[in-house]
Every structure is written in structure tokens, then in C-alpha cells.
Amino acid sequence: MRPVVIAANWKMHTTPADAGELAVAIAGATRQPGVIRVICPPYLSLDAVRRAVADEGIEVGAQNVHHEASGAFTGEVSAAMLAGLATWVILGHSERRRDAGETDALVNRKLARALASGLRPIVCVGEQLADRDAGTAEAVVADQVRGCLAGLDAETLLAGGLVIAYEPVWAIGTGRTASGADAAAMSAAIRSVLAQVGSPALAEATPVLYGGSVTAANVGEFLIEPSIDGALVGGASLKPDEMAGIVARAAVTATARAVVDAASRPAGGGA
């Protein structure tokens, strides 16, 4: 049974002075069973958030990491620098691709570094509006998945807990969202590629999240789809009430999956 994951991407919001308070508020509002909660604040707020949620069962992630272990890379942050501060990392977010020129090849190198360093990766993929209008959205995303995972074997990806976040670029920060059916179709396409480049086991085990103007009001449309395993939340993740609604709906999915999983087990409690 794949886990249900709600990851909060705070982007360039909060400071070390206020991040802990916000994290505490979100932690208190999202105490739900069966949901993996991850908060990804800016680098400078990582320690404040880590300390604030140390006893809350919330995991902490970084928004990026450099592909090299160390070196003359002014302003960059290595995986070693994140040790003790974060256990997750977002890679290849559309804003990094747009503003920093990140390519699939670069994301691939970052993914390899994250896996080698024990950081659980959330690899972001997604099409532009022109791709969707041209009918090539699934092909574009499939190519991104292949490029990001190139040269990495299924066993390594499974052991590292790979997560894929599908974020249609045209739906980020615009108030527009893909439909649940659109996201489910893309999830199926992603899993097809995972099976081809990795293994059927990798395709089955890898959580696929939806990201793109996720709110408490619309998250249910995505989580009702069996192939969608959670959400990468942007602007709404800065609002405790919104996060409460999102995680509560995610808990419904997690509970339903646990019931189905239990019912599918052989009599006598066998695995």
C-alpha cells in the first residue's frame, strides 16, 4: 500500500523568526492518522521548523540541493549541509526549471546526490499549457521522468523512497487546476514509464502527488483517484486552516486504503 503524502512547499516565504510559529500552528491543525506530513521551508528556516515540530511527527524537507558534494558554488547548498536539518528534498520544481534553467539532466544529477545522501526525493514533472493544447502533455512528462531517472536502477530508487509530483505548470499560482481525471491519466502515464525504466515494483510503490493550486476545496477531486497519493501544496500550505482541510481529506484516503489493504490480506494475518 502506497503512503499518502502531503508536502508543504513554502517557497520564498517565512523567516527564521516566524517559521517556527507557523509550523506549530500547522502541526496542531493537521494531527490526522495515516498521512505523512512534510514541511519544506526556505533554507534559513529549516532549523526553526525542525525544532518546532520535533515532537509532532512532521518531517522536514529542503526545496533544493546542489548536485555536487562540495566545491566552489557560491550561494548553493550541499546535501551534507542539510544533514540534521532535513530528510526530504524537492527536486526540479517548475519554478527552478523556469528561473534557474534546471534541465532533466541536472535534476538527474541532483536526484543521484539526494539518494546517496539519504534525502528522500520529491521529483517534480509537468507540462506547459502549450504542450497540453498540442496534445503532447503525456509525452512531455514521460520524457521528463525518463530524463530525471536516467541511469538510476529500480532498487536504488525503491530504497530511497522516490516520490513523483505531477505539477501542470499552467496550474501553478494561476488559480487553475487540472481535473482529477487529468491527473489520474498523467499518473498512469508516469507509472508506465517507471515500469519501463525501472520495474513494475517501482511503478507500483512510487507515490505520485498532484501539485498545482491545491486547496482544501479541490484536493478531494484528486485524492479520490486511486492513482494519486497526496499533494504538493504551495500557497495554501502557508494557511493552517487550509492545511487542516487538506490533511483531513488525505486522512480519509489513508483510512480507506488501510481498510482495503487489510481486507486483501490472507486469513490469519499473513502479509
Q: What are the residues facing 91 on neighbouring strands?
A: 123
* Integer Cα distance of 27 and 21 in angstroms: 10
Cell 509525452 appears where? 139
Let me know if 167 is a catalytic residue. Answer: yes
Taken as a whole, the chain contains a residue count of: 271
Annotated active-site residue in 93, 127, 138, 242: 93
Q: Give the chain's end-to-end CA distance (angstroms, integer).
A: 12
> Which of 59, 127, 167, 242 is the catalytic position?
167
Active-site annotation holds for 59:
no
The DSSP element (H or E) to which 245 belongs, if any, is helix 240-264
Assess contact for 143 and 110: CB atoms under 8 A. no
Q: CB neighbours of 46 closer than 8 A, spacing ≥ 6? A: 60, 62, 82, 85, 86
Output the nine-digit C-alpha cell for 238.
502557508
The backbone torsions φ and ψ at residue 231, rounded to the nearest 5 degrees and listed phi first, read -150, 145
- Interior/surface letters 140-179, b for 16+ CB within 10 angstroms, e for the rest: bbbebbebbbeebebebbeebbbbbbbbbbbbbeeeebbe
* Residue positions annotated with a catalytic role: 93, 167
